Structures are given as C-alpha cells and as structure tokens.
Amino acid sequence: MTVDKGDSVVTEEEIIAVLETIEDPEVFLDIWFLGLIYDIRIDGREVEVDMTFTTPLCPAGPTLVGQVQAEIEALEKVDSCKVQVVFDPPWQPNDEVKAMMGLM
C-alpha cells in the first residue's frame, strides 16, 4: 500500500482556518485577522507558530497560547504544535483593525 504524502501533511491554509476561529476575548476579533500571528512553520507533522499579544501584559495571553496549541494539535495531520510568544516587532493593528476597534 502506498501512502499519499500530499494528504498527510497539514497545509498553512488549514492552520490559518483554525486560527481564524480563535477570538481574542478582549477585542472580540480573531487572532489571525488581528495580525497576532507572525509566522507558521510546518515540518512534517510538527507545527511551530510565532505569535504576539495586543499588549505584553495581556491577561488572556496564556489562555490564547494554550488554545492555539490545542486547536492546531487537534488537526488530524498534526502531532505537535509549539507556540512561541514574541514581542519584536511590537503588535501594530492595521487600518482595518483600527477602524473596527474604533481607533480611527
């Protein structure tokens, strides 16, 4: 029996679809739309995500990290997910996010 390797590796699009379901509880927008995800790396069945928070002292930060890890690891094609929190560069909302948050 041959295994189709194309079907056994998660895609970045599948990861993004998961991230779009995770909402920042203070801003009520998803973390992908907010731009809190800086990088996604896929190595076979292992995923690494670099993310930031809206502020360095975000009280929901640990919960968000746990949720990102759990939701990505729930994907059938993923064995493990490591989430690295980074603050460089500091998060800056884009104009669309600013408008939705009433900052423009």
Query: Could you tell me the CATH number of the domain that includes residue 20?
Result: 3.30.300.130
Poorest-pLDDT segment among 64-68, 75-79, 91-95? 91-95
Range 75-94 average pLDDT = 94
For residues 12, 87, 101 and 37, what is the CA-based torsion angle, rounded to 10 degrees?
A: 0
Using a pLDDT cut of 90, give the percent of the chain over it. 74
Look at the chain and report how many structural domains it folds into. Answer: 1
What pLDDT, on the 0 to 100 scale, is given for residue 7?
60
Domain annotation covers residue 99: no
Residue 37 domain-assigned (yes or no)? yes
79 has a pLDDT exceeding 80 = yes
pLDDT in the model for residue 100: 80
Q: What is the DSSP letter of 12?
A: H
HSE-CB of 99 using CA atoms within 13 angstroms: 4
Instruction: Answer yes or no: is pLDDT of 27 > 90.
Output: no
* Residue 5: Cβ-neighbour burial (10 angstroms; 0-12, 13-18, 19+): exposed
| Gap between the Cα atoms of 104 and 85, Å rounded | 28
Task: Show the domain range for 48.
Answer: 5-92
- Whole-angstrom distance, CA of residue 48 vs CA of residue 35: 16
| 34, part of any domain | yes
pLDDT score at 71 = 98
